Structure 1
Amino acid sequence: MKRICIYPKDISRITGKSYRQSLRIYNNIKKIQNKQSHQLISLEEVSQYLGLDAQLIRENL
């Protein structure tokens, strides 16, 4: 079974940015999606925010 949740470390691997910058991106996505602190973000939400294809991200995780 494939993962559907994305964490800041995953964003760091995808974008090549530092963990701290990836954490900012992660929190921006949560803010835009009106998520609470305990809620996770999905691969589709990250791909939409970054403007990348979700399938491309899946292959690189």
Structure 2
Amino acid sequence: MPQVCLYPKDVAQLTGTGYDAGKRLLQRIRIRLHKPARAYVSVAEFCAYTSLPEAEVTAALNRS
């Protein structure tokens, strides 16, 4: 089953940054989308914010 939501570890792996940077990026996405602090961020929302191709992000998540 494909992964639908992202965690800081996933974001860090995708962007090549550390865990804390992944947390900060997810928080910035939540703020931009007016979501609560602990709300999930979907792959589609992450891709829209970062301008990364959704197909490539999904493929990278399912490889690991």
Paired with 1:56 and 1:29, the residues of 2 have a C-alpha distance of 19
Does structure 1 retain, via aligned residues, the 8 Å contact 2:27–2:37? no
Number of aligned residue pairs: 61
> 1:7 deviation in Å?
0.8
2:41 matched to which residue of 1?
41
Give the TM-score normalised by the residue count of structure 1.
0.92
- What is the RMSD of the two structures over their aligned residues, measured on CA atoms? 0.9
Where in structure 2 are there 5+ consecutive unaligned residues?
none
Where in structure 1 are there 5+ consecutive unaligned residues?
none
Q: Percent identity?
A: 28
Task: Could you list the structure 1 runs, at least 4 aligned residues long, displaced by more than 6 angstroms after superposition.
Answer: none
